[in-house]
Structure 1
Amino acid sequence: MRNPIDGETRILGVLGENIAYTLSPAIQNAALAHARLNCRYVAFSVTRKKLGAFFEAVRALDMPGVNVTIPHKEEVIRHIDSLSRSAKRIGAVNTVVNRKGSLRGENTDLAGFRALLNGLRVRDIRSALVLGAGGAARAVLVELAERGVPSVRVACRRPARGKALLRALGVAGESIAWRAREEEAVDLVVNTTPLGQNARDAKPVGKRFLRGVRAVTDLVVKPGGTSLVKDARSLGVPAEEGSLMLVEQGRESFYHWFGRRPPRSVMMRALEDSYR
């Protein structure tokens, strides 16, 4: 049972732009209720120009912290006081922790993607195709590098952007044009683009290309599977959409704010219920 809202209720939330779609409030409020914490988690749609004022409010209201989503994961670094090792490595922040007015940036995307990849139980990945070179690709590329995947290709509309991202992260790899994404067989396909959020979206890659793939991960959150995941599963290829990543990174954020991790099942149930 939730605590009633009263004069001591504290506020957390997720910071982004045009984020009515976000599922973070559903899973975090379920975790807060389970832990019987007198807090509420909401969505904050804030423009880039107002980020400074927003973080002053975080300090003034003594908010435990916030999550950060597109398009602010890199820009928020200018407005906080320190970065964790993972946030420095990835060059982006998805969790801000407030400790007596000092704001520290964390990145739990790495833990989330690691859990997603571990769930596929595919070993000895020798090659990977990463679709997209936006902020979501950062944690993916770092994790693939840490696993020692020898061949990593980034497919994007502007190859120069992919090349710059690889260089910024210090990750060995190749940036290729989007149209060339299906030219070479790979072990692993990772979709970091929004393609698949809507039923009318074009598929990130064709079904025929997936015949030679050993595993597929799609960061788009869609319980039951995106079109990419469904295509892969129909061919017997292990595939997962982004629900587990969202839940796991949410659990890690909760840990940074409150020093404990909520049950995975509580957050996953809330996520699935939001789709019913």
Structure 2
Amino acid sequence: MITGKTKLLGIFGCPVEHSLSPVMHNSVFQKLRLDYVYLPFLVHPKEICQAVQSIRTLGIKGVNVTVPHKEKIIRYLDSVSEEAKRIGAVNTVLNKNGMLTGFNTDYYGFLESVEKHFSIKRKTAFMLGCGGAAKAMLFALLDSGIKTIYISDVEPAKSKELRKRSGSLSNIFVVDSGNIDVVAAECDMLINATPIGMKKGDGSPFNKKAIRPGCFIFDAVYNRKTLLSKYASDKNASYINGLEMLALQGAKSFEIWTGIKPPVSFMVKIIREELK
């Protein structure tokens, strides 16, 4: 039951109605009997400054941040954590007595989900997509001892900007669209950090010939069985989608807000049930 003492959390995004974060967090609050409620807030790009101010004004304990606000919100915060500063993107905000601090839990969610299945150190990876979540993935890979990372985006300027931001010019290389298949076929790990696969009828971000038998594939898409997952099975490649990453980054945000470690397996279960 919501009372005058109930603490408010939420998510800022545009669009936001598809988000599974409200049902995931509210289910955990109910399970642990915590007096919190988590709501989705549709925040248009031009309204992000006012939305951030509302966190202070309304006494919102914290928010998650999704597209298209992960980069732009930084300028309106009082401080950002070290990993968020390096990445240049925030997906979690904590309000502590009116002081707003930004964090990036995508970094931890990606790293923990991958390391359960694959050893990153001294491997080569190819990442398609260079948006907010991809930035977190890149720094997680670098910090885990990746040998070489190839990156590509439909907007070449994004790839170049991300490479420059990383500061690791010796082991990060931008690949143009015409060479993706050839380069990817030599990599130990393939990462889809694009939305390709989210919609019914979508193709695969990687062509089948780009998948080397035995390689490891991380697909950020989690809302449906993708063509990429079929290609992985056909080529005897290991494959995981972004569902565990979603739960793990959410768990990290939960801990930042409440000081409590939530049951991750329960969060995964809730997401799977919602996707049925």
| TM-score interval for Structure 1 and Structure 2 normalised by the shorter chain | over 0.9
Partner in structure 1 of residue 161 of structure 2: 164
* Sequence identity percentage: 35
Distance 1:6 1:123 in 2: 47
Given the alignment of the two structures, is residue 127 of structure 1 paired with residue 127 of structure 2, yes or no? no
Contact 1:217 1:229 in 2 (8 A): no
Distance 2:226 2:120 in 1: 23
1:221 maps to a residue whose letter is Y
State the shift of 1:105 in Å: 0.4
Secondary structure of the residue aligned to 2:181 is coil
1:179 maps to a residue whose letter is G
2:216 maps to a residue whose letter is A
Secondary structure of the residue aligned to 1:196 is coil
Q: What is the aligned counterpart of 2:104 among 95, 107, 117?
A: 107
State the shift of 1:110 in Å: 0.7
Contact 1:221 1:243 in 2 (8 A): yes
Partner in structure 2 of residue 271 of structure 1: 271
1:155 maps to a residue whose letter is S
1:181 maps to a residue whose letter is I
Contact 2:92 2:103 in 1 (8 A): yes
Superposition pairs of residues 1-276 of structure 1, within 5 angstroms:
4-122=1-119, 124-172=121-169, 173-184=172-183, 185-212=186-213, 214-222=215-223, 225-276=225-276
Distance 1:198 1:213 in 2: 27
Secondary structure of the residue aligned to 1:130 is strand
Q: Deviations over 1:89-122 (max 9, x none)?
A: 1111000000010000011011011012112234
Structure 2: which 5+ residue stretches go unaligned? none
1:233 maps to a residue whose letter is S
Contact 2:214 2:236 in 1 (8 A): no
1:162 maps to a residue whose letter is S
Q: Which moved more, 1:78-87 or 1:6-15?
A: 6-15
Distance 2:20 2:146 in 1: 31
State the shift of 1:180 in Å: 2.0
1:71 maps to a residue whose letter is P
Q: Give me the TM-score of the superposition, normalised by structure 2.
A: 0.93
Q: Give me the TM-score of the superposition, normalised by structure 1.
A: 0.93
Contact 1:112 1:247 in 2 (8 A): yes
1:235 maps to a residue whose letter is K
State the shift of 1:213 in Å: 5.2
State the shift of 1:124 in Å: 4.5
State the shift of 1:169 in Å: 2.2
1:180 maps to a residue whose letter is N
Q: Deviations over 1:1-23 (max 9, x none)?
A: xxx12222222111111122111
- Count of residue pairs brought into register by the alignment: 272
Q: Deviations over 1:141-180 (max 9, x none)?
A: 1011112222211111232320111111223311122232
Distance 1:130 1:171 in 2: 15
Distance 2:129 2:232 in 1: 19
Distance 2:187 2:239 in 1: 14
1:260 maps to a residue whose letter is I
Contact 1:116 1:217 in 2 (8 A): no
Contact 1:219 1:242 in 2 (8 A): yes
Secondary structure of the residue aligned to 2:199 is coil
Secondary structure of the residue aligned to 1:120 is coil
